[in-house]
Protein backbone atom coordinates (compact mmCIF):
# COMPACT_ATOMS: atom_id res chain seq x y z
CA UNK A 1 0.00 0.00 0.00
CA UNK A 2 1.37 3.39 -1.00
CA UNK A 3 2.31 5.88 1.69
CA UNK A 4 -0.35 8.43 2.45
CA UNK A 5 1.01 11.96 2.60
CA UNK A 6 -1.05 13.97 5.02
CA UNK A 7 -0.54 17.69 5.22
CA UNK A 8 1.22 17.33 8.58
CA UNK A 9 3.53 14.61 7.29
CA UNK A 10 4.51 16.70 4.27
CA UNK A 11 5.00 19.78 6.43
CA UNK A 12 7.37 17.90 8.74
CA UNK A 13 9.31 16.40 5.81
CA UNK A 14 9.60 19.77 4.07
CA UNK A 15 10.77 21.45 7.27
CA UNK A 16 13.50 18.84 7.73
CA UNK A 17 14.53 19.15 4.08
CA UNK A 18 14.80 22.94 4.29
CA UNK A 19 16.76 22.64 7.53
CA UNK A 20 19.24 20.30 5.79
CA UNK A 21 19.69 22.98 3.10
CA UNK A 22 20.52 25.59 5.80
CA UNK A 23 17.47 27.70 5.04
CA UNK A 24 16.59 30.21 7.75
CA UNK A 25 13.25 29.60 9.48
CA UNK A 26 12.64 26.25 7.75
CA UNK A 27 9.27 25.62 9.42
CA UNK A 28 7.90 29.02 8.44
CA UNK A 29 9.16 28.59 4.88
CA UNK A 30 7.46 25.20 4.68
CA UNK A 31 4.19 26.55 6.06
CA UNK A 32 4.06 29.51 3.71
CA UNK A 33 4.94 27.45 0.65
CA UNK A 34 2.37 24.74 1.34
CA UNK A 35 -0.29 27.28 2.28
CA UNK A 36 0.32 29.09 -1.01
CA UNK A 37 -0.06 25.97 -3.16
CA UNK A 38 -3.10 24.72 -1.25
CA UNK A 39 -4.69 28.19 -1.19
CA UNK A 40 -4.92 28.22 2.59
CA UNK A 41 -3.82 30.68 5.23
CA UNK A 42 -1.59 29.39 8.01
CA UNK A 43 -4.56 28.91 10.36
CA UNK A 44 -6.29 26.85 7.69
CA UNK A 45 -3.13 24.82 7.34
CA UNK A 46 -3.16 23.89 11.02
CA UNK A 47 -6.86 23.05 10.97
CA UNK A 48 -6.33 20.65 8.06
CA UNK A 49 -3.30 18.71 9.29
CA UNK A 50 -4.77 15.23 8.91
CA UNK A 51 -6.07 15.70 5.36
CA UNK A 52 -4.39 13.42 2.83
CA UNK A 53 -3.00 15.18 -0.21
CA UNK A 54 -3.88 13.95 -3.67
CA UNK A 55 -1.41 13.42 -6.51
CA UNK A 56 -2.21 16.72 -8.20
CA UNK A 57 -1.44 18.63 -5.00
CA UNK A 58 1.81 16.72 -4.45
CA UNK A 59 2.84 17.33 -8.07
CA UNK A 60 2.29 21.07 -7.58
CA UNK A 61 4.24 21.19 -4.33
CA UNK A 62 7.30 19.09 -5.21
CA UNK A 63 8.97 21.41 -7.76
CA UNK A 64 8.54 24.44 -5.51
CA UNK A 65 10.07 22.62 -2.55
CA UNK A 66 13.01 21.62 -4.77
CA UNK A 67 13.51 25.19 -5.98
CA UNK A 68 13.42 26.55 -2.43
CA UNK A 69 15.96 23.89 -1.47
CA UNK A 70 18.17 25.36 -4.19
CA UNK A 71 17.85 28.68 -2.32
CA UNK A 72 15.46 30.41 -4.70
CA UNK A 73 13.69 33.02 -2.53
CA UNK A 74 10.33 32.03 -1.11
CA UNK A 75 8.84 35.38 -2.13
CA UNK A 76 9.63 34.75 -5.79
CA UNK A 77 8.15 31.26 -5.58
CA UNK A 78 4.85 32.50 -4.19
CA UNK A 79 4.98 35.78 -6.09
CA UNK A 80 4.37 38.09 -3.17
CA UNK A 81 5.83 39.74 -0.09
CA UNK A 82 4.48 41.84 2.75
CA UNK A 83 5.84 45.30 3.54
CA UNK A 84 4.38 47.93 5.87
CA UNK A 85 1.51 45.42 6.41
CA UNK A 86 0.61 45.74 2.72
CA UNK A 87 0.74 43.05 -0.01
CA UNK A 88 3.23 43.42 -2.85
CA UNK A 89 3.74 41.43 -6.00
CA UNK A 90 7.38 40.49 -6.49
CA UNK A 91 9.27 38.81 -9.33
CA UNK A 92 13.00 38.46 -10.09
CA UNK A 93 12.73 41.86 -11.82
CA UNK A 94 12.66 43.59 -8.41
CA UNK A 95 14.31 43.34 -5.03
CA UNK A 96 12.29 41.64 -2.34
CA UNK A 97 11.06 44.29 0.14
CA UNK A 98 12.60 43.80 3.57
CA UNK A 99 11.47 44.83 7.00
CA UNK A 100 14.65 46.87 7.60
CA UNK A 101 13.56 49.27 4.85
CA UNK A 102 10.50 50.16 6.90
CA UNK A 103 12.91 52.32 8.95
CA UNK A 104 13.24 54.55 5.88
CA UNK A 105 9.44 54.82 5.65
CA UNK A 106 9.25 55.69 9.35
CA UNK A 107 11.82 58.46 8.98
CA UNK A 108 10.02 59.89 5.94
CA UNK A 109 6.74 59.99 7.86
CA UNK A 110 8.50 61.71 10.77
CA UNK A 111 9.42 64.55 8.39
CA UNK A 112 6.17 64.81 6.46
CA UNK A 113 4.42 67.28 8.77
CA UNK A 114 4.61 69.88 6.02
CA UNK A 115 4.92 69.73 2.25
CA UNK A 116 3.20 67.60 -0.32
CA UNK A 117 5.72 66.35 -2.88
CA UNK A 118 7.95 63.29 -2.61
CA UNK A 119 10.39 61.49 -4.89
CA UNK A 120 11.23 57.80 -4.44
CA UNK A 121 14.47 57.04 -6.32
CA UNK A 122 14.92 53.43 -7.43
CA UNK A 123 11.38 52.39 -6.56
CA UNK A 124 11.68 48.74 -7.60
CA UNK A 125 8.49 46.99 -6.50
CA UNK A 126 7.11 50.34 -5.34
CA UNK A 127 7.20 49.25 -1.71
CA UNK A 128 8.40 52.59 -0.33
CA UNK A 129 6.32 54.81 -2.60
CA UNK A 130 3.12 52.78 -2.12
CA UNK A 131 3.57 52.56 1.66
CA UNK A 132 4.10 56.32 1.93
CA UNK A 133 1.16 57.04 -0.35
CA UNK A 134 -1.02 54.90 1.91
CA UNK A 135 -0.09 57.13 4.85
CA UNK A 136 0.16 60.57 3.19
CA UNK A 137 -3.21 61.47 1.76
CA UNK A 138 -2.94 64.47 -0.53
CA UNK A 139 0.77 64.05 -1.25
CA UNK A 140 1.90 63.64 -4.83
CA UNK A 141 4.62 61.04 -5.19
CA UNK A 142 6.99 60.45 -8.10
CA UNK A 143 8.48 56.95 -8.27
CA UNK A 144 11.56 56.61 -10.45
CA UNK A 145 13.36 53.52 -11.71
CA UNK A 146 15.65 52.77 -14.62
CA UNK A 147 13.94 49.40 -15.23
CA UNK A 148 10.62 49.39 -17.06
CA UNK A 149 10.01 45.82 -15.88
CA UNK A 150 10.30 47.04 -12.29
CA UNK A 151 8.00 49.98 -12.97
CA UNK A 152 5.36 47.66 -14.43
CA UNK A 153 5.33 45.72 -11.16
CA UNK A 154 5.31 48.92 -9.10
CA UNK A 155 2.29 50.19 -11.05
CA UNK A 156 0.40 46.97 -10.36
CA UNK A 157 1.29 47.24 -6.66
CA UNK A 158 0.01 50.81 -6.54
CA UNK A 159 -3.24 49.65 -8.12
CA UNK A 160 -3.48 46.67 -5.78
CA UNK A 161 -3.13 48.96 -2.76
CA UNK A 162 -5.44 51.65 -4.20
CA UNK A 163 -2.93 54.51 -4.31
CA UNK A 164 -2.23 54.65 -8.05
CA UNK A 165 -3.77 58.12 -8.41
CA UNK A 166 -1.18 59.55 -5.99
CA UNK A 167 1.89 58.17 -7.75
CA UNK A 168 3.53 59.16 -11.05
CA UNK A 169 5.90 56.52 -12.38
CA UNK A 170 8.96 57.66 -14.33
CA UNK A 171 11.60 55.61 -16.14
CA UNK A 172 14.91 57.40 -15.59
CA UNK A 173 18.43 57.02 -14.23
CA UNK A 174 19.09 58.41 -10.76
CA UNK A 175 22.07 60.25 -12.24
CA UNK A 176 19.55 62.74 -13.66
CA UNK A 177 16.58 63.30 -11.38
CA UNK A 178 13.43 65.05 -12.68
CA UNK A 179 13.84 68.81 -13.02
CA UNK A 180 11.68 69.91 -10.11
CA UNK A 181 11.92 70.30 -6.35
CA UNK A 182 10.56 67.95 -3.71
CA UNK A 183 9.82 68.24 -0.02
CA UNK A 184 11.15 64.72 0.53
CA UNK A 185 13.51 62.56 -1.51
CA UNK A 186 13.85 58.96 -0.35
CA UNK A 187 15.93 56.15 -1.80
CA UNK A 188 17.02 52.60 -1.15
CA UNK A 189 19.67 52.60 -3.90
CA UNK A 190 22.17 49.93 -4.91
CA UNK A 191 24.91 49.98 -2.27
CA UNK A 192 26.68 46.62 -2.29
CA UNK A 193 30.37 46.87 -3.16
CA UNK A 194 31.88 44.30 -5.51
CA UNK A 195 34.21 43.18 -2.70
CA UNK A 196 31.17 42.30 -0.57
CA UNK A 197 29.40 40.25 -3.23
CA UNK A 198 30.65 36.87 -2.05
CA UNK A 199 29.40 37.62 1.48
CA UNK A 200 25.76 37.70 0.35
CA UNK A 201 23.34 34.84 0.93
CA UNK A 202 22.63 32.67 -2.14
CA UNK A 203 19.03 33.90 -2.17
CA UNK A 204 20.37 37.40 -2.85
CA UNK A 205 23.40 37.05 -5.09
CA UNK A 206 22.01 34.22 -7.23
CA UNK A 207 18.42 35.40 -7.71
CA UNK A 208 17.79 39.08 -6.99
CA UNK A 209 18.54 41.67 -9.71
CA UNK A 210 22.23 42.54 -9.61
CA UNK A 211 21.66 46.02 -11.03
CA UNK A 212 19.53 46.87 -7.99
CA UNK A 213 22.22 45.70 -5.57
CA UNK A 214 25.70 46.42 -6.87
CA UNK A 215 27.25 49.90 -6.91
CA UNK A 216 30.67 51.19 -7.92
CA UNK A 217 33.04 53.23 -5.74
CA UNK A 218 32.93 50.78 -2.83
CA UNK A 219 29.12 50.87 -2.92
CA UNK A 220 28.95 54.68 -2.65
CA UNK A 221 28.34 55.65 -6.29
CA UNK A 222 24.60 56.25 -5.98
CA UNK A 223 25.04 58.33 -2.83
CA UNK A 224 27.50 60.58 -4.70
CA UNK A 225 24.91 61.10 -7.42
CA UNK A 226 22.01 61.73 -5.03
CA UNK A 227 23.83 64.15 -2.75
CA UNK A 228 25.27 65.96 -5.77
CA UNK A 229 21.74 66.82 -6.90
CA UNK A 230 20.13 67.37 -3.50
CA UNK A 231 20.48 71.15 -3.28
CA UNK A 232 18.80 71.64 -6.67
CA UNK A 233 16.06 69.04 -6.15
CA UNK A 234 14.96 69.79 -2.58
CA UNK A 235 12.73 72.61 -1.43
CA UNK A 236 13.94 74.78 1.42
CA UNK A 237 13.50 72.63 4.52
CA UNK A 238 13.27 69.48 2.40
CA UNK A 239 14.93 66.21 3.41
CA UNK A 240 17.03 63.60 1.61
CA UNK A 241 16.74 60.19 3.29
CA UNK A 242 18.60 57.08 2.13
CA UNK A 243 18.99 53.49 3.23
CA UNK A 244 22.61 52.41 3.70
CA UNK A 245 24.71 49.32 4.23
CA UNK A 246 25.80 48.74 7.82
CA UNK A 247 29.41 49.77 7.09
CA UNK A 248 28.55 52.98 5.27
CA UNK A 249 27.18 55.38 7.91
CA UNK A 250 30.29 57.54 8.25
CA UNK A 251 31.08 57.73 4.53
CA UNK A 252 27.51 58.58 3.53
CA UNK A 253 27.15 61.12 6.35
CA UNK A 254 30.29 62.85 5.09
CA UNK A 255 28.82 62.99 1.57
CA UNK A 256 25.70 64.64 2.97
CA UNK A 257 27.77 67.23 4.85
CA UNK A 258 29.98 67.93 1.84
CA UNK A 259 26.85 68.52 -0.23
CA UNK A 260 25.79 71.25 2.21
CA UNK A 261 22.95 69.35 3.86
CA UNK A 262 22.25 70.21 7.47
CA UNK A 263 21.08 68.30 10.55
CA UNK A 264 22.66 65.12 9.20
CA UNK A 265 21.68 62.06 11.25
CA UNK A 266 22.04 58.28 11.27
CA UNK A 267 19.14 56.04 12.32
CA UNK A 268 19.74 52.47 13.41
CA UNK A 269 17.38 49.63 12.60
CA UNK A 270 15.83 47.50 15.33
CA UNK A 271 18.82 45.16 15.30
CA UNK A 272 21.06 48.10 16.21
CA UNK A 273 22.70 48.42 12.78
CA UNK A 274 22.98 51.81 10.99
CA UNK A 275 20.19 51.82 8.42
CA UNK A 276 19.22 55.35 7.32
CA UNK A 277 21.13 58.59 6.78
CA UNK A 278 19.24 61.85 6.38
CA UNK A 279 19.96 65.49 5.86
CA UNK A 280 18.02 68.71 5.33
CA UNK A 281 18.39 71.61 2.90
CA UNK A 282 18.36 74.87 4.89
SS (H, E, C) 74-133: HHHHHCEEEECCEEEECCCCCCCCCHHHHHHHHHHHHCCCCCCEEEEECCCCCHHHHHHH
Average pLDDT over residues 43-68: 93
In this prediction the pTM is: 0.93
Residue 279 CB contacts under 8 Å (≥ 6 apart), including other chains: 230, 239, 240, 256, 257, 259, 261, 262, 263, 264, 265
pLDDT at 48: 85
| 226: exposed, middle or buried (Cβ count in 10 Å: 0-12, 13-18, 19+) | buried
Residues 166 and 139 sit within 8 Å (Cβ to Cβ): yes
pLDDT at 114: 79
207 backbone dihedrals φ, ψ, rounded to 5°: -130, -35
117 backbone dihedrals φ, ψ, rounded to 5°: -125, 140
Is the predicted pLDDT of residue 1 greater than 50, yes or no?
Answer: no
Residue 33 CB contacts under 8 Å (≥ 6 apart), including other chains: 14, 61, 64, 65, 68, 74, 77, 78
Is the predicted pLDDT of residue 2 greater than 70, yes or no?
Answer: no
Expressed in angstroms, the distance from the first to the final Cα of the chain is 77
Report, at the CATH architecture level, how domain 91-280 is classified: 3-Layer(aba) Sandwich (3.40)
Domain ranges of the chain: 7-70, 91-280
pLDDT at 115: 81
Structure confidence by residue, pLDDT tens digits, 111-138: 998 789 999 999 999 999 999 999 999 9
Confidence of residue 178 (pLDDT cuts 50, 70, 90): very high
Is the predicted pLDDT of residue 218 greater than 60, yes or no?
Answer: yes
Is the predicted pLDDT of residue 157 greater than 50, yes or no?
Answer: yes
Structure confidence by residue, pLDDT tens digits, 6-47: 999 999 999 999 999 999 999 999 999 999 999 998 888 888
Cα separation, 264 vs 225, in Å, equals: 17
Cα separation, 130 vs 120, in Å, equals: 10
Closest among 196, 203, 184, 183 to 248, alpha carbons compared: 196
pLDDT at 17: 97
Question: What is the rounded average pLDDT for all residues in the chain?
Answer: 95
Amino acid sequence: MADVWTLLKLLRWTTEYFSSKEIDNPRLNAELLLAHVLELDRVGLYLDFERPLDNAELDAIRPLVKRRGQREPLQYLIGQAEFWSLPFEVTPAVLIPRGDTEILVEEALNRADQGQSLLDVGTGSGAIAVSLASELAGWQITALDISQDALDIAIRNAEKNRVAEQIRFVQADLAQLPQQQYDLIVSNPPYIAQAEWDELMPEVCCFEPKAALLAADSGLDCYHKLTGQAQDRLTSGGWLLVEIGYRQAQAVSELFTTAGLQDVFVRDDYAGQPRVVGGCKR
